[in-house]
Amino acid sequence: MAFEIPKITYTGKIKEVTLGKGTKAVTVGGETAYPFHFFEGAMPNPPRITMEVYDAPPEEWPEAALEPFKDVVNDPVAWAKKCVESYGADLICLQLISTDPNGLNRSSDEAAQTAKKVASSVDVPVIVWGSGNVEKDSEVLRKVAETCDGMNLVIGPVAEGNYKQVGAGAIGYKHTAIASTPIDINLAKQLNILMGNLGVPDGQIIVDPTTGGLGYGIEYTYSVMERDRMAALTQQDERLQFPIICNMAREIWKTKEAKTATQDAPTLGDAKKRGILMEAVTGIILLLAGADILVMRHPEAIKLVREMIADFTAN
């Protein structure tokens, strides 16, 4: 008797969301089965990788992460162009670290102008990510949405404390919003409900479950993302049927394993290879958990993950 692979019957579907506009617009979502389970359902849109661009020179990056971008770290426009032209980025993620009230505390007007310049300089979709300070992001992201009216940006993180202000900006100026919650499926569902009640269309919402790095909470992240996908696909939970974005690179490269120099920890091996592999392995784990978009940093780690995606999706 021939062996037959057990199959799950899915009753739900992940919503499709189109990011950006024009010929380089990217559509994510649309899955009707668990990640890469092509024997059970469809995955019409492969996962995408977005490369980080900072709006101010990063101060704490290890040498291995900084090396590919040394010539552009003082100019986010040049940085974005290099990511697209040299490394083939599918999307750009502009990290507005300079707006952090505990750091440079740059104004919302300045941040919005930077976002507009970066978005105008590349033909791929642009994600604009705030500092993570709920109050400051409310001001900054609303201004970004207004200044970049019609540019079809992706803006976030949108939290429960500022979803009305940022969500209204996404509605009024036609941007996609990133609903961000701290690794909890119930909080994620609640925020999605709140954004829907506010009037943000389903086609303008993607979800950030908050991401831990390899060895630093990846198990918990995986579990929550897995439960999210189970509820979305097998329990028809419509408020969890959204594409997932994982802002992972910063979580990897801030760890001691990625930052410690080779000479300071010779038993850990080469620092560059160590950081690259930590980023690549984290990315692959998150893809298997259901991520549709990965925010990554090092070109060599991105190359490894792209090769795995190609292998996973090969017929």
Residue 281 has pLDDT above 80, yes or no: yes
Number of domains observed in the structure of the chain: 1
> Phi/psi of residue 173, each to 5°?
-115, 10
Residue 3 domain-assigned?
Answer: no
Residue 275 domain-assigned?
Answer: yes
Residue 141 sits in a domain whose CATH number is: 3.20.20.20
pLDDT band at 59 (very low <50, low <70, confident <90, very high): confident
Determine what percent of the chain is predicted with pLDDT higher than 70.
99
- For the stretch 70-112, pLDDT in tens is 999 999 999 999 999 999 999 999 999 999 999 999 999 999 9
Residue 9 domain-assigned?
Answer: no
- The answer to whether residues 279 and 252 touch, using CB atoms and an 8 Å cutoff, is yes
Residue 238 domain-assigned?
Answer: yes
- pLDDT mean over 121-150: 97
Residue 148 domain-assigned?
Answer: yes
At a CB cut-off of 8 Å and minimum separation 6, what does 178 contact?
Answer: 127, 129, 154, 155, 156, 157, 158, 206, 207, 208, 245
Reduce the DSSP state of residue 223 to 3 states and report it: helix
- If you count DSSP H runs as helices and E runs as strands, how many of each does the chain have, helices first? 11, 10
- The answer to whether residues 290 and 246 touch, using CB atoms and an 8 Å cutoff, is no
Residue 10 domain-assigned?
Answer: no
- For the stretch 153-163, pLDDT in tens is 999 999 999 99
| For the chain, the helix, strand and coil percentages under 3-state DSSP, each to the nearest 5 | 45, 15, 40
DSSP label of 14: P
Domain of 296, in residue numbers: 46-313
Residue 175 domain-assigned?
Answer: yes
